[in-house]
Structure 1
Amino acid sequence: MSQHQAYERLLARARTLPPIPTAVVHPCDESSLTGAVNAASMGLIKPVLVGPSARIAAAARKAELDIAGIEIVDAPHSHAAAVEAVRLVREGRVECLMKGSLHTDELMAAVVSREGGLRTARRISHSFVMNVPSYEHPLIISDAAVNIAPTLEEKIDIVQNAIDLAHALGQQEVRVAILSAMETVNPKIPSTVEAAALCKMADRGQITGAVLDGPLALDNAINLQAAAIKKIDSPVAGRANVLIVPDLEAGNMLAKSLSFLAQADAAGIVLGAKVPIILTSRADSVTTRLASCAVASLVAHARREALSKAVQ
């Protein structure tokens, strides 16, 4: 089995679809520009490079990249590039954003701006789509990068965003584990109470498209033997493909533990805005960058399909 098998399946699926017009925001270093050009060459995105044109050209020369056929929208600095990229979305010229060499906070500030941003009724949240070599399918972990200490109300949207992502990736059955430190409800641990509430909301149709269970500890969420030892009878326990963490710290540590101790890859995407947002890190491998673009492409196409159905 290839170490990147789960990602290779995502890439193969995304490559059967037309490339998604994507604003690449401030791609002024070698890694972010290379990621965009590679994704374009694979047919995953149709990039529009937004930022200082002289710096983009210099980065291309340094990386020995041919960007002659790629549209560049000039913007004097990173803040202006983020604002300009959001404007391209609002004008319908692009259907996805991709972070270049600017801070995530700077990009997200333009996205969530109440004046001309990309807010929807849904809370914006981040998901990692993780390729764990010992796990047979992609594992979605949310939220490890945007919502610091989400309330129960915010977790409803975090869960629904992750479920919608799983469907866009082609998961036939979405099994969501709401994680805590234990699998029983303990009033002294708020995350266990919130997990139980989220599961009841799913029972009542307030969260749709998946089967939920929680609270679950990590071991009995992803390991059938651990779930059996604890005598947890559930369609989710031991077989989860979506993990919802209590807060950003837990999510960040879980994702990085998998990356650095289990050699997992972590493709990052932000959901809940008008378009998907590809968040990559300078430390990301080429495979991870391409997988992030593939995930965003599948989400954007699912969004197109949903909008088409809504119009009919």
Structure 2
Amino acid sequence: MPTPYAPPAESEHWHQTGDQHRRLIDSVRPLPTLTTAVAHPCDEASLGGALAAWREGIITPTLVGPRARITAAAEALGESLDGLTLVDTSHSHASAETAVRLAAEGEVQALMKGSLHTDELMSAAVDRRTGVRTERLMSHVYALDVPSYPRPLLISDAALHIAPGLDAKRDIIQNAIDLARALGIDPPRVALLSAVETVRATLPSTIEAAALCKMSERGQIRGGILDGPLAIDNAVSALASRQKGLVSDVAGRADVLIAPNLESANMVAKLLIYLARAQAAGLVVGARVPIMLTSRADDIETRLASAALAARLVHFQREGDDDAR
């Protein structure tokens, strides 16, 4: 088993940005490297991130894209591609399709987004004939290292599902629980967010939160402790939850935040990144292989942390945990 990536002690309230992600990266060093198809790494940022994860011993990359453009990016970085497999393609759509095909055929254990649009990669991934779909919906999970929060914080879904219904939210929650457990957070505390902490007929997110909690009690969602509806202050602040008189195993110490919709999840994550100096890593979960989604603005540490998330999840699933299936 890898070194536990467990939350620090409750007494620790502030830490340096990136401390938790560095522990995460260190925790995967004993694991076998993750064979990864990197789709269209044709700029310095995406290729540099893949090469950094390779040198850290997290992934073994297969570079999928136009050979000339990848080689040019390597030259701009002053890097050598000796020893790496490069699959030549003609354009970004072909890069996405080829990378996904390698995953679907079991040639690689993970996918990493390069310098192509997310829609291109995800369109190939969700193709019913050639993609990497499972019976469960895919969803995106942000893993945030927030310096003012004493534990890793997962937020979902901020990238794929605009207005998920109840069944979609069940899968979104299960995906986030599986990732949290892969990180050694077991059982994870899951806060179902709304604007208030009481069920109100005029606020649909509160009704869905209550239904999802009952679904968890009935075994339709497994492996986590759910509570909701919870306003975000009650979810992450023990002081706020005490002032409201909440009796909850989740309030004030949530490991996972499930937002009502994509806009709210995206806003919460971006506010933490830009105002609270959180460092974000990201992963699409629920496919046959994890998909690392990064943007051009992401630094190397963020890219390494995303790769480490994928490595932990693959190891967790390979262990054969029933809840991961």
TM range (shorter): over 0.9
Q: Deviations over 1:67-94 (max 9, x none)?
A: 1111101111110011101111122110
Alpha-carbon distance in structure 2 between the residues aligned to 1:165 and 1:188? 33
Deviates more, 1:103-112 or 1:131-140: 131-140
Q: What one-letter code is carried by the residue in structure 2 that aligns with 1:209?
A: G
Deviation (angstroms), 1:307:
7.8
One-letter amino acid of the structure 2 residue matched with residue 104 of structure 1: T
* Residue of structure 2 in register with 1:59 after alignment: 73
Which residue of the other structure, out of 140, 143, 160, is the alignment partner of 1:129?
A: 143
CA distance in 1: counterparts of 2:146 and 2:210, whole angstroms: 27
CA deviation profile, 1:260-293 (whole Å, cap 9, x unmatched): 0000011010011110000001001111111000
Contact 1:24 1:97 in 2 (8 A): yes
Question: 1:212-291 to 2 correspondence within 5 Å?
Answer: 212-291=226-305
Between the aligned partners of 2:219 and 2:185, the Cα distance in structure 1 is 20
Contact 2:64–2:87 (CA under 8 A) maintained in structure 1: yes
Match among 129, 133, 141 for residue 155 of structure 2: 141
Cross-structure match for 2:8: none
- Paired letter, 1:183: E
Amino acid at match of 1:121: E
Match of 1:107 in 2: 121
How many Å separate the matches in 1 of 2:35 and 2:276?
34
Tell me which amino acid in the other structure corresponds to 2:28. A
Matched, 1:165 2:184: no
Regions of 4+ moved over 2 Å: 307-310
What is the TM-score with the length of structure 2 in the denominator? 0.93
Deviations for 1:204-242, whole angstroms, at most 9, x for unmatched residues? Answer: 111110110000000000000000011100010001000
Superimposed CA distance per residue, residues 134-181 of structure 1 (whole angstroms, 9 cap, x where no aligned partner): 112210000000001000110000000000000011113310000000
Q: Secondary structure at the match of 1:116?
A: coil
> Which residue of the other structure, out of 283, 302, 305, is the alignment partner of 2:319?
305
Query: Where does the alignment leave 5 or more consecutive residues of structure 1 unmatched?
Result: none
Residue in 2 aligned with 1:72?
86
Q: Distance in 1 between matches of 2:261 and 2:309?
A: 23
User: What's the RMSD between the two structures over aligned residues?
Assistant: 1.5
Q: Number of matched residues?
A: 311
Q: Is structure 2 residue 140 aligned with structure 1 residue 120?
A: no
Q: Deviations over 1:1-27 (max 9, x none)?
A: 432111011111111101100000000
Secondary structure at the counterpart of residue 8 of structure 1: helix
Q: Which residue number in structure 2 is paired with residue 153 of structure 1?
A: 167
CA contact (8 A) 2:34 2:58 kept: yes
TM-score of the aligned structures, taking structure 1 as reference length:
0.97
What is the 5 A alignment of 1:205-216? 205-216=219-230
Contact residue 6 and residue 136 of structure 1 kept, 8 A: no
Rounded to whole Å, the distance in 1 between the matches of 2:96 and 2:320 is 27
309 and 219 in structure 1: CA distance in 2 versus 1, 3 angstrom threshold = closer
Identical counterparts, % of pairs: 57
The aligned counterpart of 1:28 is: 42
CA distance in 2, matches of 1:306, 1:72: 32
Checking the alignment, whether the CA contact within 8 Å between 2:223 and 2:323 is kept in structure 1 is no
The amino acid across from 2:106 in the alignment is: G
Give the C-alpha shift of residue 309 in structure 1: 11
Match of 2:28 in 1: 14
Give the AA of the match of 2:56.
Answer: M
Q: 1:302 Cα deviation (Å)? A: 1.3
Equivalent position to 1:202, from 201, 207, 216: 216
1:215 match: secondary structure? strand
Kindly indicate whether the alpha-carbon contact (under 8 Å) linking 1:128 and 1:269 is maintained by their aligned counterparts in 2.
yes
Picking from 205, 224, 229, the partner of 1:191 is: 205
**How far apart are the structure 1 equivalents of 2:105 and 2:134?**
16
